[in-house]
Amino acid sequence: MASDAVLTFTDDAWDADVLQSDVPVLVDFWAEWCQPCKMLGPTIDELAADYDGKAKIGKMNIDDHKQIASSLGVASIPTVMIFKGGQMVKNMVGINAKQAYAEAIDAAM
């Protein structure tokens, strides 16, 4: 199942999982109550399957892990950020086409 490849990011493991990653990382900032976030879920699942072994694809629940979202200025969700070499290289707010996320990941490779 595709969703098995979707990681869960936390405040505690942020540095190790995202900033110190040797591959690009896509982080979907979301919340359980956010309907557009739920609509984006299948796209994130597909990207995780498509990029398994090439990039990290995961989600961070902003209700459970407020510290990182706040420090990055996440004001609306869904917000998807792409990180490479410890730096945010792309910030996409709202729902975008799968192709837009794929192009952003490819550009970070």
Catalytic center residues: 34, 37
- What whole-number distance in Å separates Cα of residue 19 and Cα of residue 13? 10
- What whole-number distance in Å separates Cα of residue 40 and Cα of residue 28? 9
Query: Exposure pattern of 48-74 as b/e (b: 16+ CB <10 Å)?
Result: bebbeeebbbbbbbbeebeebbeebeb
